Chains A and B, each alone.
Chain A
Amino acid sequence: MNDIDYELIERYFSDRMTEEELMAFESRREADPEFHEMVATWFDVSNTLRQSLQADPQRDALVQTLQSNRPIFNEKAKVVSIRKLMAAAASVAVLIATLMYWSPWKKDLYSQYSIEEMISPAERGSTKDSLAQQAATQFNHRDYKEAVVTLDKLLAAQPGDAYARYYRGLSYLEDGLTSRARADLEVIYNGESVFKYDGAFFVALSYLKDKNTVKCKEWLLKIPASAENYDKAQELLGDL
């Protein structure tokens, strides 16, 4: 096998042969086992590589799922006798009963349900994104007044930016400016962004902060069962 043979095989697979060349190629393949094997390997390598280099989003999604199950491998096998298990269950039950009666967590419902972290912007590079980045840092450091200033700039440039408006609403809320918070969050609720029902939830929380339980409930009921935070809303309704 030499360079000329390799180029010949390349041309064969690129469909670049005349009728005569093709016939000569096939008869050589039949007569020469080494050549035959090289052609077969060439085909196998290109074919296999083509398949495995091809993007497969479904496979990527599966790998994500597999990764998320991986911790199972690091769990310690638990061997606990049934009697010990029963004893443990009984003492846990007593603890739960005590806590239910005492309910130390009922003291401040607002702080129980308050704010998550501000998500940093996904894309990078533009001034708009660096402002959003700055706002996220301020928000996550609980510098809500400064976050409001930064978010004001973002909203001045793009009044329709639901992301900026949602987090400005939350910043006002955390800062105790409940009516300003509601102004932003109601816009979010009336819009169609991904924050829509989170908007409703935090309007409800703003009323909770103002000790207006009726209004709070009213807003929680706006969250439909299909929303991501439905369970959270129902839980809070139950607590009220």
Chain B
Amino acid sequence: MSHADQHFIHALLHNETQVVGEIYQRFAPKVKYYVLQNSGSADDAADIFQESLVDIYNQAKYKDLQLTCPFEAFLLMVCKRKWLNELKKRGRQGVTKDLDEQFNVGEDSFRDAEKTWADNEKARLFKTMLGQMGERCQEIIRLSLTDKPQEEIAAKLGVTYGYLRKKKSECMASLISAIKDNLSKWGLT
């Protein structure tokens, strides 16, 4: 049995504009209030809100997220987690004022929200680190992640397959090391 609020997630997956509008009408004010209370701006709140909805979309589409609590509670948890981390990245102190209402949220829901945030933050970190690599490495890694045969990729890059393999493993190793260096800065440990 899926949670009654699963329809909000369905709406995100299928871009149901009316329901998405309802999500903004109903839940945006709380997130705005929360961010404004904790040294953020209305623009910050809009960013956090939008990113959280995309994160929930990703989690539902690629990781089969199923709600176990009201959508509002879940969305607020993801937004809060994201804002907390943003403050940390900006070198500010953490959240001091919380929202008044307490949802009775089980441990499962809390863990799902945390995972929704973390999985997506991780993907953002990986992408950012990839973007900071040299152009050649980026090209090699991006091409390797497609389903094209390695030989075809080597031909496209004008190198031998042996060279591609060697270069690709070097690039991956330095990408992984850059990621590890930044995990804690991004709040992912």
Contacts and interface: CB of A to CB of B under 8 A. Distances in A.
A48 B165 contact: no
Contact of B166 (A1, A7, A38, A74): A7
B99 interface: no
Interface of chain A: mostly helix, strand, loop or mixed: helix
Contact of A6 (B57, B122, B145, B169): B169
A51 B14 CA distance: 19
Contact of A50 (B29, B58, B145): B145
A74 B43 CA distance: 8
Interface stretch (A63-71, A81-89, A120-128): A63-71
Nearest to B19: A65
A236 B56 CA distance: 45
A61 B61 CA distance: 14
A58 interface: yes
Interface string B33-66: 0000000001101100110011001100110000
B24 A48 contact: no
Interface residues of A, number: 34
Nearest to A4: B169
Given A49-B127, A58-B13, A73-B49, A65 B20 contact: yes
Interface in A148-162: none
Contacts, number: 101
A11 B9 CA distance: 39
A95 interface: no
Name the residue in A7, A9, A14, A62 with the highest tally of chain B Cβ atoms < 10 Å from its Cβ.
A62
Interface of B is mostly: helix
Given A10-B168, A10-B169, 19 more contacts: A6-B170, A6-B173, A14-B150, A42-B172, A46-B145, A48-B122, A48-B126, A49-B126, A50-B145, A51-B62, A52-B124, A52-B127, A58-B13, A61-B15, A65-B20, A66-B53, A69-B24, A70-B46, A74-B46
Interface of B: 12-15, 17, 20-21, 24-25, 28-29, 32, 42-43, 45-46, 49-50, 53-54, 57-58, 61-62, 119, 122-124, 126-127, 130, 141-142, 144-145, 150, 165-166, 168-170, 172-173, 175-176, 179-180
